[in-house]
Amino acid sequence: MNVGDKHSIFTRAVHAGEEKYKYADSITVPIVQTSSFVFKNMEDVRSYTSKEHYRYEYGRYGNPTQKAAETKLAALDGAQDCLLFDSGMSAIVTTLLALMSKGDHLVITDDAYKQTLMFVIKELPRFGLEYTVVKMGDYEAMENAVKTNTTLIFSESPTNPYLNIVDLVKLKEIKDRTGVTTMIDSTFATPFNQRPLEWGVDLVMHSATKYLGGHNDILAGVLLGGSALMGKVRDFQKATGGIIDPHCCYLLLRGLKTFALRVDHQNRSGQKVAEWLESCRYVHRVYYPGLPSHQHHYIAKAQMKGFGGVVSFMLKTDMNGVGRFLDALKISRIAPSLGGVETLITHPASVSYYNVEKKEREMLGITDDLVRLAVGIEDPDDLIEDIYQAMKTAFD
């Protein structure tokens, strides 16, 4: 590799993980679309199995296109090792099951990604694994939840949909006092805005479906960290599968080339849209870590470079009014997900939480007037104009 730590993240996004001269003099990393790899002869088999040289063996254990994407991602997050999965959830589930054994205990914060929390609550006990859910931001509760059998503290930052921020200094202190491994889902931040490994977190996970892929066209998951922990997860993945295919790795590599450019733009657009929303007469409240009004603004400022493209806000209206507003938008698409080039907007009460009773939804903070805007790479002024015309159409 010719590009390393001394280069900026913009340069690393383009070049890191790639050989300067590639197969057939290609500029781009080739898609090695194969399920298995040929041994030249039995001597080749012997020298491989006796670890005299490294080579690829079978697709489930690795592929050169995958390796290039993993090396690039490791360079972006400053990680020793990286492992790709077929989705973000696959990365989370594989990691939890690889690192926990019967009788072990997990601590998780309460506003984690809904499917992560559901997996912990519904599935872990089936395998004899215990958990404690603690309130996000309550570090005393987090530390008190640690027991002798606690193997992992799992948190997320920023969180969905309120963009709460974990204090990585406090998390490190708890890790130092308890000796428990820490893991952060850093999907909303990306390595452009936050590099948790540098703050002492042991494992970082991303849904590469979001900003890293960046084009709303793939599902992928990333795990990053030190070799010992990563080795355990890699061995487990060899058996469980959940691997990413070479073509998807190529799309991820292609997306990563412009990753820094996109997130830099999305940071600025997110801030601009959030500030505009905060001054808008149809809006009741805005949640964005880049706003001084956000409860964790001071933590975000200390540990993040930018605050991303997701802005959540509450409209001065009811369920029907939100519906009229969403239907009147011309640019933003009604869809879950975030971090891609297209701006997407969701109404959590009627999408992610459609099957949860209104009272229970509200206890989880998912009120009917809440929408989550995931800003893409369009011109923020066009987005603002579109949002404003939709509000006038819906509310006047």
Ligand X SMILES: *Cc1c(COP(=O)(O)O)cnc(C)c1O
Cβ contact 187:159 at 8 Å: no
Shortest distance, position 211 Cβ to ligand X, whole Å: 10
Alpha carbon 212 to chain centroid, angstroms: 8
Is there binding between residue 95 and ligand X (CB under 6 A)? no
Geometric angle at alpha carbon 72, from 68 and 77, rounded to 5°: 150
Residues 184 and 201 sit within 8 Å (Cβ to Cβ):
yes
**Whole-angstrom Cα distance, residue 66 to residue 310?**
29
Window 28 to 67, contacts with ligand X (CB under 6 A) = none
- Kindly state the smallest distance separating residue 243's Cβ from ligand X, in Å: 14
Beta-bridge mates of residue 313: 286, 371
**Contact call for residue 347 and ligand X (CB under 6 A):** no
Cβ proximity to ligand X, 63 vs 187, nearer residue = 187
Q: Residue 150 or residue 346: which is nearer to ligand X going by CB?
A: 346
Min dist. Cβ of residue 188 to ligand X (A): 6
Tell me, residue by residue from 68 to 87, as one string, x for binding to ligand X by CB under 6 A and - for no binding: -------------------x
Closest separation between CB of residue 386 and ligand X, Å? 24
Q: Which of 219, 314, 341, 384 binds ligand X (CB under 6 A)?
A: 219
* ∠ CA 236-189-240, rounded to 5°: 15
In whole angstroms, the minimum distance from the beta carbon of 24 to ligand X comes to 32
User: Of all helices (H) and strands (E), which one includes residue 391?
Assistant: helix 380-395
Closest CB 103 distance from ligand X, rounded Å = 26
Asked if 335 is part of the footprint of ligand X (rule: CB under 6 A), the reply reads no
The 3-state secondary structure of 123-173, one letter per residue: HHHHHCCEEEEECCCCHHHHHHHCCCCEEEEEEECCCCCCCCCCCHHHHHH
Q: State which of positions 117-156 bind ligand X (CB under 6 A).
A: 156
Residue 157 within binding range of ligand X, rule CB under 6 A: no
Q: Footprint of ligand X on residues 159-218 (CB under 6 A)?
A: 160, 185, 187-188, 207, 209-210
Binding residues for ligand X, rule CB under 6 A, total: 14
Query: With respect to ligand X, which residue has the nearer C-beta, 34 or 115?
Result: 115
Residue burial 216-248, b: 16+ Cβ < 10 Å; e: rest: bebbbbbbbbeeebbeebbeebeebebbbbbeb
* 276 belongs to the binding site for ligand X (CB under 6 A): no
Choice from 73, 89, 374, 387 touching ligand X (CB under 6 A): 89
Under 8 Å between Cβ of 282 and 315: yes
Nearer to ligand X by Cβ, of 62 and 308: the residue is 308
Q: Are strands 310-315 and 283-287 parallel, antiparallel or unpaired?
A: antiparallel
Contact between 266 and ligand X per CB under 6 A? no
Residues that bind ligand X (CB under 6 A): 87-89, 113, 156, 160, 185, 187-188, 207, 209-210, 219, 221
